[in-house]
């Protein structure tokens, strides 16, 4: 099956620093990648949708200047949390989609990255 990896799996950083999270599709080309955030005991919330080679589309309430998304290749998307603060501590999950895979529009989820900002 299609595999999506994330790196790092967990990260602890100081307040004010920037953190980059990578999402890779390992055995398929992901024309679209999605970034989600999950706070403890809450459901996943979509942050943004990125299509390869174009700017990401952010959901309402998500600051695009704070959460920088780059989808420069068909197998890699990055999420950079800039000037991280403790309230950004969360579990960040990416998913990837390849319209060429059957069934169409299936999404494959990465294992997630746990960010803790001190």
42 binds other proteins, rule: CB under 8 A: yes
CB closer to other proteins, 3 vs 118? 3
Cβ proximity to other proteins: between 20 and 109 the closer is 109
Cα 26 to Cα 34: distance, rounded to the nearest angstrom: 16
Beta bridge partners of 24: 5, 76
Question: Is residue 11 a contact residue for other proteins (CB under 8 A)?
Answer: no
- Residues 84-113 interacting with other proteins (rule: CB under 8 A): 91, 93, 95, 103, 105-112
* Lookup: tokens for 9: 């799996």
Taking the complex as a whole, the smallest distance from the CB of residue 16 to other proteins amounts, in Å, to 25
CB of 111 to other proteins, least distance (A): 4
Q: Which candidate, 4, 42, 7, 6, places its Cα nearest to that of 25? A: 4
Among 31, 32, 49, 89, binds other proteins (CB under 8 A): 49
Convert 8-41 to b/e letters by CB count within 10 Å (16 or more is b).
eeebebeeeeebebbbbbeebebbbbbbbbeeee
Residues that bind other proteins (CB under 8 A): 34, 38, 42-46, 49, 91, 93, 95, 103, 105-112, 114
């Amino acid at each position: 099956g299609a595999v999506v990896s994330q790196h790092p799996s967990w990260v602890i950083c100081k307040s004010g620093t920037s953190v980059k999270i990578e999402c890779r599709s390992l055995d398929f080309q992901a024309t679209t990648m999605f970034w989600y955030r999950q706070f403890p005991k809450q459901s996943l919330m979509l942050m943004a949708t990125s299509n390869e080679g174009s700017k990401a589309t952010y959901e309402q309430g998500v600051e695009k200047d704070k959460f920088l998304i780059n989808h420069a290749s068909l197998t890699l998307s990055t999420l950079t949390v800039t000037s991280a603060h403790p309230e950004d501590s969360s579990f960040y999950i990416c998913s990837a989609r390849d319209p060429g895979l059957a069934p169409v529009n299936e999404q494959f989820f990465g294992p997630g990255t746990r960010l803790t900002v001190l």
